Chains A and B, each alone.
Chain A
Amino acid sequence: MIATIPLLSIRNLHVDFKTHDGLVEAVQGVSCDILPGECLGIVGESGSGKSQTLLAAMGLLHRNGTARGTVDFQGHNLLAMSRNELNQIRGRDISMIFQDPLTSLTPHLKIGTQMREVLKTHQQMSGLVSDAKCLEWLERVRIPLAGQRLRQYPHELSGGMRQRVMIAMAMLCDPKLLIADEPTTALDVTIQAEILDLMDELRRDHGTAIALITHDMGVVARMCDRIQVMRHGVYVEQGSADDIFYRPQHDYTKMLLQAMPRLDGKSASGRQIKPYQTRSEKAEFLTVSDLKVHFQIKNGFFAKPAVLRAVDGVSFDLRPGETIGIVGESGSGKSTLARAVLQLIPPTSGTVTWLGSNLTTLDRQAMKQKREDLQIVFQDPMASLNPSMTIGDSIMEPLRIFRRDATKTDRKLAVAAQMQRVGLEPSMINRYPHELSGGQNQRVGIARATILQPKLVICDEAVSALDVSIQAQILELLGGLQAEFDLSFLFISHDLSVVREISHRIMVMYQGCVVEMADRDDLFRNPQHPYTRQLISAVPIPDPDIEKSRKRLRLKGELSSPLDPMARVRFLPSRMGDEVPYLPKLQERFPGHFVAEHDPLEDLVLDDEPELERDLTPS
């Protein structure tokens, strides 16, 4: 390879933040080069300083942050520039896209206004020329009805569309470097796959170098030529993608790769769930049949309310000591299903039978008694704990409600024992949630949910907000609790790889319905439904050779709104013309392997025509 002059070279960069707790050294002397046209991955867990490094280079630190060192871009030190000089470069030569496309676009300005101001600032372009250029880029990032989008507000677009708008806006002036800070973390896997494809294409067609900041080794494997692994403010390892994935040197890199759950089941950790075996022969445990949760959506004062079918006829049964994984993308109804099972949302129809009694017909008092055995762990550990209660009090609360006769010391002892069981120091009993890390708080959530030794625990995205290393520990903990107490789990997640790690059986949901349900290995070895296959093919695998050679399955049709009654026949277009919307039925294609009716895959696969993604407008 010819030695090329780096586009951006960072030398000995330090970033400090002045906080109330003193000086925080977020980045401690890192150096790296970004070459023209390459994709550099910067990976690390939360708090490693991976974002701050490049924010500092762009002069975008918070007011309390200072950067030292040099960031050389085409012979100029960006850190020494005045704000005006820097503004010549930002948005023109180097541009950025961010994690959350909704909050990263100005909510009260139309897409067109936000795009045009870039051209006005950097190229003194305005009027029709400017409009044409914006339109051209919106079309290049494959946004349907681009002309209309210019006049829309960000909240009128779906998450994937917003991120495309961000990319189009960042590319307007043909930048030499695009910095992408967790660009797909907030998106569904199928949308993530499309956005990554798009970024890859832009790099090939325009020679734009990309600095990709992410926590996801799968995304890195898919996109990057070279990788920097960052931890606690320093680069612990750097090298080509092959070096990092196949010949990792540093322990931290090895740990990251091991902790990452893999869809192809080749997790290096060797973590295995116990194959399911029933200990108790009780047939009656949890049976959900034809459960529906519909919401009335009012669309204005006089309009007839529309019906949102969040859960639309879901049936399954769970056995003692079993884990069912429920996967689906945002809006698939998986969380609503969980809440309806626990009667936290009243179901519209259907039954939930728990140990022989129908929960949907119980009164409040009787339901309260049942809750002793039915617990839930939520996604955001910090937000679901009361900030004004010590973690000890939070864990003890179920005992106060259901173990009235226990003495104070008994309860204290039980809490201490429970804390030890979930890997928390009992001495932390008087701490508050804000004093703990995300992983520790989730342990508190789990301790609280399991202290009564319930029979069923629902985990609603319980590990989704955590770093991979913490995620692995929490999964380990859940597995251990299951083995110890014969617990059953309903494990809800958008992340197929995580669900694969922990579940005995897996249920795939789309638009409120189950499209496929099977034993874990059957589902991954022999996925039947086109949607399942699309999901599986969209999840990146942390292995560059496998990842770069995989072909992604892209399906025809659009991600339709759950308000649309035709959404349910997306995979059965032959019934699209029906008068009464047809509800595809689950069929047992192999023993224990249920698949919703669908048309043959060949009829659904997208050829290379531009995809038609209609907007999912939140209303």
Chain B
Amino acid sequence: MLLYALKRFLTTIPVLWIAITVCFFILRLSPGGPFDGERPLPPAVKQNLEAHYNLDKPLVQQYAIYVGNVLQGDLGPSFTSEDFNVAEQLKLGLPYTIIIGGAAFIIAVLFGILAGIYGALWRNAWPDYVLASIILLGLILPSFLLAPIFQLIFGVELGWLPVGGWGDGELRYIVLPVAVLALPHIARISRLMRGAMIEVLHSNFIRTARSKGLNTGPIVLRHALKPALMPVVSYLGPAAGYLLTGSIVVETIFGLPGIGRYFINAALNRDYGMVLGTVIFYMVLIVMLNLIVDILYAWLDPKVRSQ
């Protein structure tokens, strides 16, 4: 098991390297630079700036410098902010993103799985249909639509919750963004879970378990849950990715000071350093989450382990 984890870990290194390389060159190849404002800078100033940020060197050399810095954990300077480099800006935004994203993730997994099991056990009865309709709603409404709807209903009309901002990090400020972020994933996870659970409940070993005289509780929890979780677990990696990208939209709409907002600002200002740094950070996060998913998989299925 440990060997398996180590092996999987080693395979993430080339993945990350390729991703960094591709992002670096794509960003550099896109037209325009951080200092091409509406008002052109005096050439001497621009030259000085470019020399300061190594932008005057050949592209390959810039790449070598950048990769070297990344290996030392330095994501480089931000071209628009003198006071904070990329890593420091990420550090500032990180707690907010982690709280919102993490809470949404946990809630999505928990509610998704429970709703899925419930739907499977009561399949084609009215609770299943009600659940299915709510889920469908969560699937079809994109978060940039869902967010203003929630703001309107719970913030403006009912006045229960603030429409935006972080406040002092009180719960009532977090509820709406987390709900908007989690809802589509609750929907997807519960559908995956329901389908997988129904399939597993039809399998031969469940028939054996029933023939042994076990009650529904142990059958579902001990025999059916683990294999039914497999498709859900394999969705968790991509889900984490969606949550991160989703958090960009949600943080912007709710005016939260997370990484997503820095990212949007950086993109609008052509701050390569910041954009690239954020992308790399997201990538590492997603790759690591996928790694955890693979290890979870091995835990769920003894056959994966022995291969």
Do A and B share a complex?
A: yes
Residues of A at the B interface (CB closer than 8 Å) are 58-60, 62, 83-84, 86-92, 95-96, 98, 100, 103-109, 117-118, 121-122, 153, 155-156, 166, 169, 300-301, 619
| Cβ contact within 8 Å between B3 and A103 | no
Q: State in angstroms the CA–CA spacing of A156 and B203 once bound together.
A: 20
Docked Cα-Cα span, A92 to B210, in Å, equals 12
B30 interface residue (CB < 8 Å to A): no
Least CB separation from B225: chain A residue: A108
**CB contact between B210 and one of A60, A166, A169, A301 (< 8 Å): that residue:** A60
The winner among B3, B212, B214 for most chain A CB atoms within 10 A is B212
Query: Quick check: A153 and B302 within 8 Å, CB to CB?
Result: yes
Chain A nearest CB: distance from B119 CB in Å?
14
A86 to B218, CA, bound (A): 16
Cα–Cα distance between A301 and B226 once the two chains are bound (Å) = 27
Cross-chain contact A117 with B214 (CB below 8 angstroms): yes
The residue from A91, A100, A117, A300 contacting B211, defined by CB atoms under 8 A apart? A91
For B203, the closest partner residue in chain A by CB is A103
Q: Which residues on the B side are within 8 Å of A108 (C-beta)? A: 226-227, 300-302
Point out the residues of chain A lying under 8 angstroms from B213, CB to CB: 86-92, 118, 121-122
Residues of B within 8 A of A169 (CB): 212
Whether B214 pairs with A87 at a CB distance below 8 angstroms is yes
Give Cα A153 to B208, complex, Å: 16
18 more A-B contacts (CB under 8 A) besides A106-B222, A109-B222, A117-B218?
A: A83-B215, A86-B213, A89-B213, A90-B210, A90-B211, A95-B211, A98-B204, A104-B205, A104-B207, A107-B227, A107-B303, A117-B212, A121-B212, A121-B213, A121-B218, A155-B303, A301-B7, A619-B306
User: Quick one: which of B204, B222, B226, B302 contacts A117, CB cutoff 8 A?
Assistant: B222
Contact: A106 with B212, CB < 8 Å?
no
Contacts of A90 in B (CB 8 A): 210-213
Q: Inter-chain contact count A-B, CB under 8 Å?
A: 81
Q: Does B172 have its Cβ within 8 Å of any Cβ on chain A?
A: no
Contact B205 A107 (CB under 8 A): yes
Q: How far is the CA of A300 from the CA of B6 in the complex (A)?
A: 13
**Chain B contacts with A in 1-33, Cβ cutoff 8 A:** 3, 7
Which residues of chain B are near A118, meaning CB under 8 Å? 212-213
Instruction: State how many angstroms separate the Cβ of A401 from the closest Cβ of chain B.
Output: 37
**Is B202 among interface residues, defined by CB-CB distance under 8 A?**
yes
Query: Is there an interface contact between B3 and A300, defined as CB atoms closer than 8 Å?
Result: yes
Taking the nearest CB of chain B, how far is it from the CB of A346, in angstroms?
24
The range of chain B's interface size is: 20 to 34
Closest-CB distance, B9 to chain A (whole angstroms)? 12
Q: Which residues on the A side are within 8 Å of B302 (C-beta)? A: 107-108, 153, 155
Distance of A156 from chain B, by nearest CB (Å): 8
B284 at the interface (CB under 8 A from A): no
0/1 per residue, B216-233, Cβ < 8 Å to A? 101000110011000000
A95's nearest neighbour on chain B, judged by CB, is: B211
How distant is B205 from chain A, measured CB to nearest CB, in Å? 4
Q: Are A105 and B208 in contact (CB under 8 A)?
A: yes
CA distance A425 to B210 in the complex (A): 44
B209 at the A interface (CB under 8 A): yes
Contact in complex: B209, A106 (CB < 8 Å): yes
Chain B residues with CB below 8 A from A86, complex form: 213
Q: How far is the CA of A153 from the CA of B202 in the complex (A)?
A: 21
Q: Are B211 and A109 in contact (CB under 8 A)?
A: no
| B306 adjacent to A106 (CB under 8 Å) | no
Q: With A87-B215, A90-B212 known to touch, is A60 a contact of B207 (CB < 8 Å)?
A: yes
**Complex alpha-carbon distance, A300 and B211, angstroms:** 37
Contact partners of A105 in chain B: CB under 8 A: 205, 208
Interface centre among A86, A88, A103, by most B CB within 10 Å? A103
- Select the residue from B202, B211, B303 with max chain A CB neighbours within 10 A: B211
| Residue of B whose beta carbon sits closest to that of A90 | B213
**Residues of A close to B208: CB separation below 8 A:** 96, 98, 104-106, 166
Cβ 8 A contact of A84, one of B211, B215, B306: B215
Contacts of A87 in B (CB 8 A): 213-215
User: What's the Cα separation between A118 and B205 when bound, in Å?
Assistant: 14
Bound-state CA distance A59–B7 (Å) is 47
Q: What residues on A are CB-neighbors of B204 within 8 Å?
A: 98, 100, 103-104
* Chain A neighbourhood of B303, CB < 8 A: 107, 155
Cα(A62)–Cα(B211), bound, Å: 13
Sampled A-B contacts (30; CB under 8 Å)? A60-B210, A62-B202, A83-B215, A87-B213, A90-B210, A90-B211, A90-B213, A91-B212, A91-B213, A92-B213, A96-B208, A98-B204, A98-B207, A98-B208, A103-B203, A103-B205, A104-B208, A106-B208, A107-B301, A107-B302, A107-B303, A108-B226, A108-B227, A117-B212, A117-B218, A121-B212, A121-B213, A155-B303, A300-B3, A301-B3
The 8 closest A-B pairs by CB, nearest first: A91-B213, A91-B212, A90-B213, A103-B204, A96-B211, A87-B213, A106-B205, A104-B204
Q: Is the CB of B211 within 8 A of A58?
A: yes
Closest A residue by C-beta to B208: A104
Across-interface contacts of A107 in B (CB, < 8 A): 205, 227, 301-303
Closest beta carbon of chain B to A76's beta carbon, Å? 15
Task: Please give the distance in Å from B206's CB to the nearest CB on chain A.
Answer: 8
Report how far A155 CA is from B7 CA in the complex, Å. Answer: 23
Q: Name the residue on B nearest A93 (C-beta).
A: B213
When distances are taken between beta carbons in the complex, the residues of chain B under 8 Å from A83 are 215-216
Contact residues in A for B202 (Cβ distance below 8 Å) = 62
- What CA separation (Å) do A60 and B3 show in the bound complex? 42
CA distance A62 to B203 in the complex (A): 11
Q: Which residues of B contact A106 (CB under 8 A)?
A: 205, 208-209, 222-223
A152 to chain B, nearest CB (A): 10
Given the complex, which residues of A lie within 8 Å of B226, measured CB to CB? 108
- In the assembled complex, the Cα of A88 lies from the Cα of B213 at a distance in Å of 6
Min CB gap B2→A, angstroms: 12
Distance from A153 Cβ to chain B, minimum over Cβ atoms (Å): 5
B207 touching A95 by the CB < 8 A rule? Answer: no
- Chain A residues with CB under 8 Å of B214's CB are 87, 91, 117, 121
Q: CB-nearest residue of chain B relative to A55?
A: B207
Q: Could you say which residues of chain B place their CB within 8 Å of the CB of A96?
A: 208, 211
Residues of chain A contacted by B223 (CB below 8 angstroms): 106, 109
Smallest CB gap from A84: residue in B: B215
Complex CA gap A109/B218 in Å reads 13
Most buried by B among A86, A107, A169, A619: A107
Q: Which residues of B contact A100 (CB under 8 A)?
A: 204
**Contact mask B272-307 → A, CB, 8 Å, 1/0?**
000000000000000000000000000011110010
Q: Contacts of B207 on A, CB cut-off 8 Å?
A: 60, 98, 104
Shortest CB–CB separation between residue A323 and chain B, in angstroms?
Answer: 37
* B302 (CB) vs chain A CBs: closest residue: A153
Assembly CA distance A96 to B213 (angstroms): 11
Q: Considering the chains assembled together, what is the distance between the CA atoms of A69 and B212 in angstroms?
A: 23
CA distance A86 to B214 in the complex (A): 10
Measured between C-beta atoms, what is the minimum distance from A300 to chain B in Å?
Answer: 7
- Distance, CA A166 to CA B208, complexed state (A): 9
Residues on B with C-beta less than 8 A from A153 are 302
Complex CA distance for A490 and B160, rounded to whole angstroms: 79
- CA separation between A88 and B7, bound complex, in Å? 48
